[in-house]
Chains A and B, each alone.
Chain A
Amino acid sequence: MRMFKILPFIKRDLKTFTSYPVSMIFSSLSVFLTLFIFYFLSKAITVGESILAYAPDYFSFVIIGIAFSSAVSTGLNTISASVRTEQSRGTFEMLLSGRITTVELLAGFLTFDTIFEIVRIIIILTLAAFFFGLKLDLSHCWVSAVFLIFTFLSFLSFGIISAGVIIITKRGDPVSFFINQANILFSGVYFPYENLPSWLRPISYLFPTTYALKGIRMNLLMGAPIGEVYRELLILVGLTLVMLPLSIAFFQAALNRSRRWGTLSTY
């Protein structure tokens, strides 16, 4: 029986990651630094009603925002970064000469970083809970896990489109960068989107993270069960179901176009 070819990518990426021990140590230490920065920042901030609607204090509010938005960034950036790296390494054409499908290739690019990000979220939340007094309500935490999956998948669609753009135009990073920054501004990562001027607020509703962070904060910090956050979840699921197949089709079309143009390995 033919196996889904994803394990070789995970092994390869794990070996590459561990072959840079200094980077490994510093990326672990940076988690601690982030927690310290926002812990002391939260001590200097007086929270308003808009934050108290989601969290007991600013530290809890912002840590959830940071932890889960980094997962969003992974979905958005990993595929395009991988395509770019493989092209500049000279391995992209060789990968495409393997007997793998487009979905396997995309999953291969993504899986290690995704696992790494999930571990990172768990570490951030655990450290924040043990050392900085973050109080999590884990009674319905599976709801947050479902939110995380669909937020990730909906942003992954944008990431796959961005990778397709890179294959064709050789430039796609500004697209991801713009979406990333706009996501931070509009979806309530560092502050509630309700604080935006009323004429800007409708833009927030275009970002999947707005619904995800709202649902995750209410679930993890206020103990809200599925019944209270299902609307946000349904919007995310709907977005994913529409966007993901479209983005994969776009990526495949970009690969075919690049094969015809003879520009697969150029960057």
Chain B
Amino acid sequence: MIKIKDLQKTYVIHKLFDGFNIVGKKKVPALNGIDLEIKKGMITGLVGPNGAGKTTLMKILAGILIADEGSIEYLGRDVVNTPDILNDITGWVNGEERSFYWRLTLMENLRFFMALFLDEWRDSDLEDMLKVLGLEEFKNRAFRMLSSGMKARAQLARALLKQPKILILDEPFTNIDQSSRKVIKEFLKKWVLEEDRAILISSHHIEELEDWLDNRYSLKDGRNTENTKTVMKGVEVLFADGTKETIDMGRISRAFGRSDEIRKCKLIKEDVLDENV
């Protein structure tokens, strides 16, 4: 869906003086040649320490920043220098709860952004989204009065309501409780399979999302370090009589023969090098 090749970005900080030294320009490299692919119907994870370049990459894809070098291929066209196109096709959760108007209610905020994002939209779409994300009863509450978890969900609602092709999620689950995370993850898993859609997500707790990701890229110092994908190897099944059995994915139907006796299942996963990347 999107192919990124040799993407480079250096921040230029204009500072005339640093103490008594004349500095002028200071260059801070952020991306040093990133290659990755966001595939249709897949959830792609970005892993890396602080300063690895995850947020810079996401901002470029959201059309907020322009890269210095490299290409971003979308529908066979290089869109690296056309932030408007990237803006159009992406919905961005920047993990920043301040990016709303705190004097307005949740509903007023979402209505405002919808009017900017779309030429036509309906209040009923908005209401449906609030229901899915468990925000319906808080819709008329001033944004400043919402909890951090609700604010995080509001960001997700705003990005989804933009009807994007690619959902870019920068630390989307921070402050969201476990049960809501589960509901949201299930919803997004279904969402990504509809039409031409994809999700790119970064999180410091990526290990919690392993079973949810379709592939994963590791970044460090603005470079890819490894390109892995998570593959389901099999299922570890605990039966009612206390016996355990490991069944690989090819013979999974065996376990369903005794499905009424299954007490617990655990997916066995393995990270393998993605040769297609």
Interface residues of A (CB under 8 A from B): 2-3, 5, 7-8, 11-12, 15-16, 19-20, 89-91, 93-100, 169, 256, 259-264
Asked if B77 is at the interface of the complex by the 8 Å CB criterion, the answer is no
Asked if B3 is at the interface of the complex by the 8 Å CB criterion, the answer is no
Interface centre among A16, A90, A96, A262 (most CB of B within 10 A): A262
Tell me if B83 and A98 are in contact (CB < 8 A): no
8 Å CB contact of B100 from A3, A5, A8, A91: A91
Tell me if A262 and B11 are in contact (CB < 8 A): yes
Residue of B nearest to A20 (CB): B103
Asked if B6 is at the interface of the complex by the 8 Å CB criterion, the answer is no
Tell me if B113 and A15 are in contact (CB < 8 A): no
How many angstroms from the CA of A119 to the CA of B100 in the assembled complex?
A: 28
Tell me if A262 and B99 are in contact (CB < 8 A): no
Query: Known contacts being A11-B112, A12-B108, A99-B87, is A260 close to B66, with CB within 8 Å?
Result: yes
Residues of B near A96 (CB, < 8 A) are: 64, 87
How many angstroms from the CA of A263 to the CA of B99 in the assembled complex?
A: 16
Tell me if A93 and B64 are in contact (CB < 8 A): yes
Tell me if A259 and B118 are in contact (CB < 8 A): no
Tell me if B104 and A16 are in contact (CB < 8 A): yes
8 Å CB contact of A15 from B100, B108, B115: B108
Asked if B22 is at the interface of the complex by the 8 Å CB criterion, the answer is no
Asked if B190 is at the interface of the complex by the 8 Å CB criterion, the answer is no
Tell me if A262 and B87 are in contact (CB < 8 A): no
Tell me if A97 and B64 are in contact (CB < 8 A): yes
Name which of B88-96, B179-187, B218-226 contacts chain A.
B88-96
Residues of A near B101 (CB, < 8 A) are: 12, 16, 89, 91
Tell me if A262 and B65 are in contact (CB < 8 A): yes
Tell me if A8 and B116 are in contact (CB < 8 A): yes
Q: Tell me what chain B mostly uses at the interface: helix, strand, loop, or mixed.
A: mixed
Tell me if B116 and A99 are in contact (CB < 8 A): yes
Residue of B nearest to A90 (CB): B98
How many angstroms from the CA of A12 to the CA of B105 in the assembled complex?
A: 10
Asked if B239 is at the interface of the complex by the 8 Å CB criterion, the answer is no
Tell me if B104 and A89 are in contact (CB < 8 A): no
Please encode chain B, from 31 to 67, with 1 for each CB lying within 8 Å of some chain A CB and 0 for all others. Answer: 0000000000000000000000000100100111110
What are the 6 A-B residue pairs with the smallest beta carbon separation, nearest first?
A: A98-B116, A90-B98, A8-B115, A19-B103, A262-B11, A94-B99
Residue of B nearest to A101 (CB): B84
How many angstroms from the CA of A12 to the CA of B12 in the assembled complex?
A: 34
8 Å CB contact of A12 from B9, B65, B83, B104: B104
Tell me if A8 and B83 are in contact (CB < 8 A): no
Tell me if B111 and A8 are in contact (CB < 8 A): yes
Residue of A nearest to B63 (CB): A97
Tell me if A93 and B99 are in contact (CB < 8 A): yes
Tell me if A264 and B113 are in contact (CB < 8 A): no
Tell me if A93 and B94 are in contact (CB < 8 A): yes
Query: Known contacts being A12-B112, A259-B66, is A99 close to B117, with CB within 8 Å?
Result: yes
Tell me if A97 and B119 are in contact (CB < 8 A): no
How many angstroms from the CA of A262 to the CA of B10 in the assembled complex?
A: 9
Residue of B nearest to A91 (CB): B99
Tell me if B64 and A5 are in contact (CB < 8 A): no
8 Å CB contact of A95 from B68, B83, B116, B118: B116
Residues of B near A261 (CB, < 8 A) are: 11-12, 14
How many angstroms from the CA of A94 to the CA of B158 in the assembled complex?
A: 10
Residues of B near A94 (CB, < 8 A) are: 94, 99, 113
Residues of B near A262 (CB, < 8 A) are: 9, 11-12, 30, 56, 59, 65
Interface centre among A2, A20, A94, A260 (most CB of B within 10 A): A94
Interface centre among A2, A20, A89 (most CB of B within 10 A): A89
Residues of A near B68 (CB, < 8 A) are: 260
Query: Known contacts being A5-B115, A8-B115, A15-B108, is A99 close to B99, with CB within 8 Å?
Result: no
Residues of A near B113 (CB, < 8 A) are: 94, 98
Q: Can you list 16 pairs linking A and B with CB atoms under 8 Å apart?
A: A5-B116, A7-B115, A12-B101, A12-B112, A16-B103, A91-B98, A93-B94, A96-B87, A97-B62, A97-B117, A98-B87, A98-B113, A99-B117, A260-B68, A261-B12, A262-B30
Residue of B nearest to A89 (CB): B98
Residues of A near B100 (CB, < 8 A) are: 91
How many angstroms from the CA of A260 to the CA of B108 in the assembled complex?
A: 32
Residues of B180-225 whose CB lies within 8 A of A: none
Tell me if B88 and A99 are in contact (CB < 8 A): yes
Residue of A nearest to B109 (CB): A12
Residue of B nearest to A170 (CB): B14
The minimal Cβ–Cβ distance linking B168 to chain A, given in whole angstroms, is 10
Residues of A near B65 (CB, < 8 A) are: 259-260, 262, 264
How many angstroms from the CA of A183 to the CA of B100 in the assembled complex?
A: 36
Residues of A near B116 (CB, < 8 A) are: 5, 8, 95, 98-100
**Apart from A20-B103, A93-B94, what are 11 other A-B pairs with CB-CB below 8 Å?**
A3-B119, A12-B104, A16-B101, A90-B99, A91-B101, A93-B59, A95-B116, A98-B116, A99-B116, A256-B66, A262-B59
